[in-house]
Amino acid sequence: MSMDERIAELKARLDAELSRITEGADLENLRVEYLGKKGSVTELLKGLKDLSNEEKKTFGQKVNLLKGEVSDRIDEYKARLAKAELEKELNSAPEFDMSVPADTQRGSYHPITLVQRECERIFKSMGFTVEDYSEIVSEYECFESLNIPKHHPARDMQDTYYLENGQLLKTQTSAAQNRIYSKYKAQLINEGKPIKAIFPGRCFRNESTDATHENTFFQMEGVMVGKDINISNLIFFMKTMLSEVFQRDIKVRLRPGFFPFVEPGFELDINCLICGGVGCPSCNRSGWLELCPCGMIHPRVLEEGGIDPEEYTGYAFGLGLTRLAMMKYGIKDIRDLNSGNLKALDQFTDGEE
Q: Which residues here bind ligand FA5, judged by CB under 6 A?
A: 172, 174, 205, 207, 213-214, 217, 219, 259, 262, 265, 290-291, 293-295, 316-318, 320, 322-323, 334
Q: How far is the CB of 322 from ligand FA5 (least distance, A)?
A: 5
Least CB distance to ligand FA5 at residue 334 (A): 6
When the beta carbons of 40 and 271 are compared against ligand FA5, the nearer one is 271
For the bound state, the minimum distance from the C-beta of residue 117 to ligand FA5, rounded and expressed in Å, comes to 18
DSSP state of 306: T
CA atoms of 105 and 349, how far apart (whole Å): 13
Give least dist CB 142 to ligand FA5, A.
10
CA angle 173, 252, 110 (to 5 degrees): 50
What is 55-120 written as a DSSP string? HHHHHHHHHHHHHHHHHHHHHHHHHHHHHHHHHHHHHSPPSS-TTSPP-SPPP---HHHHHHHHHH
Nearer to ligand FA5, 185 or 323 (CB): 323
In 10 A of CB 197, how many CB atoms?
21
Beta strand segments in 71-148, E: 129-130, 136-137
Nearest to ligand FA5 of 40, 129 (CB atom)? 129
Quick one: which of 306, 269, 66 has its CA closest to 181?
306
Among residues 207 and 244, whose Cβ is nearest to ligand FA5?
A: 207
- Give the residue closest to ligand FA5 by C-beta: 320
Nearest approach in angstroms of CB 289 to ligand FA5 is 7
Rounded Cα distance between 306 and 178, Å, is: 9
Which alpha helices (DSSP H) does 147-262 contain, by range?
177-191, 231-246
Q: Find how far residue 52's CA is from the centre of its chain.
A: 82
Q: How far is the CB of 99 from ligand FA5 (least distance, A)?
A: 47
Residue 106 DSSP symbol: P
Of the candidates 111, 103, 104, 102, which has an alpha carbon nearest to the alpha carbon of residue 347? 111
Query: Minimal CA–CA distance to 242: which of 306, 320, 304, 311?
Result: 320
- Which residue, 48 or 154, is less far from ligand FA5 as judged by CB? 154
Report the SS3 class of residue 173.
Answer: helix
CA–CA distance, 317 with 293 (Å, rounded to integer): 6
Nearer to ligand FA5, 201 or 320 (CB): 320
Instruction: In angstroms, give the least distance from the CB of 340 to ligand FA5.
Output: 17
CB closer to ligand FA5, 66 vs 112: 112
